[in-house]
Structure 1
Amino acid sequence: MSRTLPHVGARSRWPTVPRHTAFWLVALAFAVTMLGTTLPTPLYVLYQHRLGFSTLMSTVIFAAYAVGVLTALVLFGRVSDVVGRRRTLLPGLACAALSGLVFLGADDLPLLITGRVLSGLSAGIFTGTATATLVDLADEDAGERATLVATVANMGGLGAGPLLSGMLAQLAPAPLRLPFEVHLGMLALVTAGIWLIPEPVKTIGRPRLRITRPRLPERVRATFLRASIAGFAGFAVLGLFTAVAPSFLGRLLHLSDPALSGAVVCTVFAASAIGQITLVRPLGRAAQPVGCGLLIAGMALLIAGLAAESLVLLLCAAVTAGLGQGVSFRAGLAAINAEAPAGQRAEVASAFFIVLYVAISVPVVGVGVAADVVGLRAAGIGFALAVALLAASALVAVRRSRGER
């Protein structure tokens, strides 16, 4: 079925850029917004030293991000279909800017948590809308390319955030201010770009805030469960590296450089993007089991790295687990989309992302609790074992489903 491009470049009260230019402006804004969501990662250790909070509280601050994302998903998931893409992207950028302003003045825990919630709102509003906008603005036969660009912008931005803030904190003055000032400047530029894009969809009415309760059709439930188990394991790994990797490096390996912390976190997201882009299609039906296997191997490397206090093993774990997360996530989402009824595909995908964002937050809070009780090393090893078991159960379920066909 051909995809229509409703009134791109239609009459407007302000000048707009050509569709091709608008496509790349949206991709850039997507990357800059996602960059902001991981910008504080290498700075958590500095905030800990300044404010004196524990590893548990560090994970709670990180998990506040998921609260914002989930709130946006259940309240604003379909708003861009009603008011238009552009009018939804701009508030997402506004939330990102408000988050940066809060972090600039953050001198206590409530402000840090508020900044993270606002950052989550920006990601929750922006991710689905920006992806849909890229598809809308692409040429009729370039939908797959638009999805690829969305993946690169999303994961590239997530990986660039900690790398940028870590380098600025390491090499420049004002480590708790300069990264956010730089990001606010970037947001100002991309906001001007989004203001100039043509609206690619027709608005159909006034939006109403309402809680979205996704329903799963009977025929997709088994596939959804298998994909969700693997996806939960993979996104829990992303949450662990993003929230706790700086503590691992500082307290266990005695490497407290923010630039190094940012580089380690960047490695996970870069590996995820590479896995999604380069491995899923060649692997075909083997993608899900291979992704689960890579997650298991990555957790084995993480356990070895924590036990041996080895930076090399920790980096190997980041690469391997990141590849596994990327492959298992994209293969699982593709399997769900293939089986979901066309009229409920967005609803089923929303349910999948709700599972994933619970995974990125709740387990790392558990690591924080365990770290205060049994120590950071034991908590990390226990987490890795739990993720490996989840990935193994997903692997068994996928193989069993293949044997029954």
Structure 2
Amino acid sequence: MKRTEAALTRNGSAPRSARGSGVLGKRGAFLSAAFVLALVLWSSGAPSTLYPSYAEKWDLAPVVITSIFATYPLALIVALPLFGNLSDLYGRRLVMIGGVLLIALSTLLFAFAPHVGFLFAGRALQGIGSGLAMGAATVSLIENNPRSNPRFASTMATVATATGLTLALFVSGLLSQFAPLPLVLSYIVLFVLALATMTTLLMTPSDRPPTRHRWRPQAPHVPRGIRLSFMIATLSVVLAYSMGAIFLSLGAHMISAFAQTDNKAITGALLATSAASIGLTALLLGRVPARAQIWAGTALTVLSLAIMVAASIYGSVWLFLSWCLVGGIAYSLTFTGGLGLINSVAPKHHRGATLSFLYLIAYFFQAGTAIGVGALASSGTLSNAVTAAAATLTCLCLLAVILLKLPARGGPQGVDPLSGSG
């Protein structure tokens, strides 16, 4: 990607197209991008409380359920390198609208799925739509940030995604437990929200650049001088996404199997507690330096993994609640810290490509975690799968600690131990 801020002219002012007419101004564009991120995570989490129902309806093994979940990040892995620079070429708003449209179409596949193949297709469409919308929305938050503090954008990204995920889990749990058509209604709600989000985006000013380069797939690239920081930030987000894979793909199964409750409203509420703690933590700790957040998040990730194993052994609802709370706080710290670190060191003209590469790696690990845990649960026991996942993620935490202890001497033009001269 040659220019991630193609909507800016050489002197730093917005081009005429970015100042075009629109009911909503720059603040509206900022909030609309936050709504897009919330919708992306809503779509990701909407099926989570319903996975046990699908497994019962079609007699699906755990590895099939986790593979359905993993189709989403796998589709993102394909979409990000192919389309990660589209928003630089055609504007953030247009790409976000296209992504949200695909998410809206995916809800129809879920709502009226006659067999499990439609779930795979729906998750793939969700992943491609999210790949388009997420990168564009993240950069839109940065470019339309109404505050001078750049960390405000990364904090808002975490709050928005946490809000969308919280509502997805809580609402889908309630609807599947108490409303008619439990496998349909929650997707109809998501479809309506997607249409509302597209309407809001259409009311924001156009940010289409006046001149565009020809589209071509973007090769992964990390600018020299920030490679250590990139590795730390990426590993931090990987920890968050890997924990999220366990929560969202097998969390409902774990609560049902170990805590022995089939009440989907309780399951949804427990999982939503984790998502809510993500957003609250981001709000309370928005001024904490990024590296400090990564340190704290890594430590709490280890603690949450220990609680997860204990919950699988003792089957206590209160242990599951503790796992959700501690895991949510750890997710918030590692995710926000990782985004804050990369936003602070990535050169402006490489920011979109760098963020896309970070997400690419994080989603690869998320898919691998989900499929691996599901395969272990199918071939052995769910308890052993949970223990193996905890051991593997603890090793990643130790790697994060090692990287954090390396001397950092960089910035966009600086030097770090992994880069040579900047």
TM-score w.r.t. the length of structure 2 is: 0.87
Matched, 1:181 2:188: yes
Q: CA deviation at 1:137?
A: 4.0
Per-residue Cα deviation, 1:198-253 (whole angstroms, up to 9, x for no partner): 11342422652x33221234433333333333332221110110000111011222
Counterparts of 1:147 and 1:286, CA distance in 2: 15
Which of 257, 261, 286 aligns to 2:263? It is 257
Instruction: Spell out the pairing of 1:186-205 with structure 2 (5 A cutoff).
Output: 186-205=193-212
Which of 335, 347, 353 aligns to 1:329? It is 335
Aligned residue number for residue 161 of structure 1: 168
Counterparts of 1:263 and 1:168, CA distance in 2: 12
Instruction: Rate the CA distance shift 1:9–1:374 in 2: closer, same or farther, 3 A.
Output: closer
Bigger drift between 339-348 and 96-105 goes to 339-348
Matched, 1:221 2:197: no
The one-letter code of the counterpart of 2:359 is: F
The one-letter code of the counterpart of 2:163 is: G
Aligned residue number for residue 380 of structure 2: 374
What SS is found at the alignment partner of 1:4?
A: coil
Contact 2:17/2:207, CA 8 A, preserved across alignment: yes
Which of 48, 57, 67 aligns to 1:50? It is 57
Gaps of 5+ in 1: none
Aligned residue number for residue 321 of structure 2: 315
Contact 1:9/1:199, CA 8 A, preserved across alignment: yes
Counterparts of 1:25 and 1:283, CA distance in 2: 26
Counterparts of 1:81 and 1:402, CA distance in 2: 30
Instruction: Spell out the pairing of 1:107-126 with structure 2 (5 A cutoff).
Output: 107-126=114-133
Matched, 1:81 2:78: no
Name the % identity: 26
Matched, 1:270 2:279: no
Counterparts of 1:369 and 1:255, CA distance in 2: 23
Q: Which has the higher contact order (CA 8 A, sep 6+)?
A: 2
Which of 5, 9, 15 aligns to 1:6? It is 15
Which of 364, 376, 383 aligns to 1:358? It is 364
Q: CA deviation at 1:346?
A: 3.0
Which of 386, 399, 402 aligns to 1:393? It is 399
The one-letter code of the counterpart of 1:27 is: A
Counterparts of 1:254 and 1:21, CA distance in 2: 45
Contact 1:5/1:201, CA 8 A, preserved across alignment: no
Bigger drift between 262-271 and 70-79 goes to 262-271
Counterparts of 2:296 and 2:230, CA distance in 1: 18
The one-letter code of the counterpart of 2:206 is: E
Instruction: Rate the CA distance shift 1:3–1:320 in 2: closer, same or farther, 3 A.
Output: farther
Gaps of 5+ in 2: 1-9, 410-415, 418-422
Aligned residue number for residue 287 of structure 1: 293
**How big is the alpha-carbon RMSD for the aligned residues of Structure 1 and Structure 2?**
2.7
How many residue pairs match? The answer is: 402
Instruction: Rate the CA distance shift 1:285–1:192 in 2: closer, same or farther, 3 A.
Output: closer
Counterparts of 2:335 and 2:203, CA distance in 1: 34
What SS is found at the alignment partner of 2:233?
A: helix
Q: CA deviation at 1:305?
A: 1.0
What SS is found at the alignment partner of 1:181?
A: helix
Contact 1:287/1:328, CA 8 A, preserved across alignment: yes
Counterparts of 1:95 and 1:161, CA distance in 2: 18
Q: CA deviation at 1:317?
A: 1.5
TM-score w.r.t. the length of structure 1 is: 0.90
The one-letter code of the counterpart of 2:66 is: T
Per-residue Cα deviation, 1:356-384 (whole angstroms, up to 9, x for no partner): 11121111111111111220011111111
Contact 1:280/1:287, CA 8 A, preserved across alignment: no
